[in-house]
Chain A
């Protein structure tokens, strides 16, 4: 993500080249949050309205229940600022990119339910957003962002972030991702030792490489 900081510094210029910068600067933080909700539902769907609207939902809780949108916004904004150019939070920059591509993929997403065009897309259309985002940024600094953002959402949605008391440094509940992945939870050790392969507990340097005596 230190690399993301460097890449995100290029976002305003990229938005300007695409003609999306003015709209990005005018956007409210609610639009950013809405876009991140739709992104979390895209990667890890649940029974929430964003997942249902994209046509890919799940009975078990997903990224939104895991509070992944907040985690992603914090990851992008708390430590990653844009260094030059117009003032635009990094999360707002990424949201503007996704919404710009959303309107390319489906111009009808300009209006409708939700605050952001990206949230109005179907699941397959969201895939197409990333297809274009990855292709357009190939060979540029922003290729880092188009490559890593889904991995960041995947990681955060399955960690303890959503149920962690950062001041007391302890869990306040069971993380959503632990439940859905049937993770046993943390432990100091496990009853998992099965012994040594073929009973062999040590090996040595091969005869041909041993020093002569």
Chain B
């Protein structure tokens, strides 16, 4: 019997695994997709090769790319951008690591407290989470982003919005700032040359400004895996978890099994009336074999869509019917500014600058290569070329609403390095209607009934719509301030990329699945440690850092509740070991990880 089985090696699972491995527990990590062990050989800086959602190496599907991607039902105009594989969606994330805004936590008494979704606040205080933020920020590490031209342009526009520069880690009020990113700052030749011969580790260290965060980070070339610039978990927490004995006294390396799709969580009935999780069954992709292992504790970290599916397919209890409900996605929108000068939009990290409007959400700049840039201009709920708008009103002050198609599109993307994109990240309300259930119209796949992801974008709450429109106005103003000659509002449908809160923790047992320590209310010894555990959409900030901070706290809770350990983060006298520590690097090289 294992001490702990962690289901999913994405943004959250490896955090729990690393923390518990450091304390000597026997941890098994299961991952449905592949582990890209040699990214320099396996990956390319090419968009179709990487991001084609059916055939790309970053897709929601099995390791064998000749096999079909895994299905889900999405009965609306939307796109669920989910990845399998070690690292999960951190493989393509931009490394943005803002903390949640304090207003979404219990005990917040700011004057704007009623601007937030109070009915679904965190069941803990912001101050409680800060030490865990600091722990993760030190481990990854999270650093202030360096700028390229697109960030200079964005921040110039933001500086005229009448709000101050935010100079702390915390979003204490409206402000603009460079991102705090899980990307190593550039050193040596990185960011200072186009010459491939010079862009080799250790001549180049940290971010080389290649522009391919979304295709997976394997720069600088020849760096040890844990020293690639972007701190996706495949480059940070997973190497640490696999080498725990090398950097932690008494540590025990985790066992990682890939191509292992969890299909059932088993329980016993010895929990004082509640079932107790005690096993996990998974399907081996290559052979179709079914394997079961027992564990003292089970951690679900398969993602915001897959966790509810696994719960329901395991026939676990759902007494308040909130499993899968309350899906938040930041109800993104997208504005494209055409600038009179070079912006370098296709170069550098995906996003290194942001604006926060607590109570409404935020804005961030996003740079893209041409395929994704063109997708961003043609994915819309707002019609085509202003000829029709699907019922949406025209936005004052923009040159176009909805998709661009034909020569209007060609003109717009005729020079990708003169564009400035602004992503609108809405502080959206938790709503029961946005949810994951099991599809009853499509047949099950080899892992059981498939998930159905439902979003009712046009029927979202008044506050959610008002926040989005507020942010669109600010984005337009920012782009004009920055000098944009033309601005287009694309009016995206749900691009389900920041995914949160389908297995939410909460204060109220009537509308939450988890207690304040992320153990499920209905099944003992079963925890959740990814974005699905978040109680709300954080007020707009990108979710990964907060999920990782919460996962660190969850690991502590597991240690205390079930293995006789003590809390160690808040009272730590020294900083945690960093994922770029020499001991980790040495073990990664010696073990060819």
Residues of A within 8 A of B (CB): 1-3, 5-7, 9-10, 42-45, 56, 58, 60, 62, 71, 75, 78-80, 83, 123-124, 127-128, 130-131, 134-135, 139-141, 143-144, 146-148, 150-161, 164, 169, 171, 177-178, 180-184, 186-198, 200-206, 208-211
Return B542 CB to nearest CB of chain A, in Å. Answer: 17
- With A62-B410, A147-B493, A164-B49 known as contacts, the answer to whether A194 contacts B151 (CB < 8 A) is yes
13 of the cross-chain contacts (CB-CB < 8 Å) are A6-B73, A6-B74, A45-B406, A75-B55, A80-B54, A124-B387, A148-B77, A158-B374, A180-B413, A187-B194, A187-B210, A189-B196, A190-B347
Return B68 CB to nearest CB of chain A, in Å. Answer: 5
Is A154 in contact with B144, judged by CB distance below 8 angstroms? no
Interface centre among B210, B371, B383, B415 (most CB of A within 10 A): B371
Does B287 have its Cβ within 8 Å of any Cβ on chain A? no
Is A206 in contact with B49, judged by CB distance below 8 angstroms? no
Q: Name A189's contact: one of B167, B199, B415 (CB within 8 Å).
A: B199
User: A147–B346 Cα gap in the complex (Å)?
Assistant: 26
Return B562 CB to nearest CB of chain A, in Å. Answer: 27
Contacts of A75 in B (CB 8 A): 52, 54-55
Is B170 in contact with A1, judged by CB distance below 8 angstroms? no
Does B416 have its Cβ within 8 Å of any Cβ on chain A? yes
| Chain B interfacial residues counted at CB < 8 A | 112
User: A211–B493 Cα gap in the complex (Å)?
Assistant: 42
Q: Name A3's contact: one of B80, B192, B407 (CB within 8 Å).
A: B80
User: A2–B306 Cα gap in the complex (Å)?
Assistant: 14
Is B407 in contact with A160, judged by CB distance below 8 angstroms? no
Return A58 CB to nearest CB of chain B, in Å. Answer: 6
Q: Name B374's contact: one of A147, A160, A164, A177 (CB within 8 Å).
A: A177
Contacts of A148 in B (CB 8 A): 77, 79, 379
Is A78 in contact with B54, judged by CB distance below 8 angstroms? yes
Does B123 have its Cβ within 8 Å of any Cβ on chain A? no
Is A203 in contact with B180, judged by CB distance below 8 angstroms? yes
Does B37 have its Cβ within 8 Å of any Cβ on chain A? no
Return B381 CB to nearest CB of chain A, in Å. Answer: 7
Q: Name B48's contact: one of A160, A188, A194, A206 (CB within 8 Å).
A: A160
User: A191–B149 Cα gap in the complex (Å)?
Assistant: 11
Is A1 in contact with B80, judged by CB distance below 8 angstroms? no
User: A100–B212 Cα gap in the complex (Å)?
Assistant: 40
Q: Name B405's contact: one of A150, A152, A190 (CB within 8 Å).
A: A150
Is A192 in contact with B416, judged by CB distance below 8 angstroms? no
Is A60 in contact with B210, judged by CB distance below 8 angstroms? no
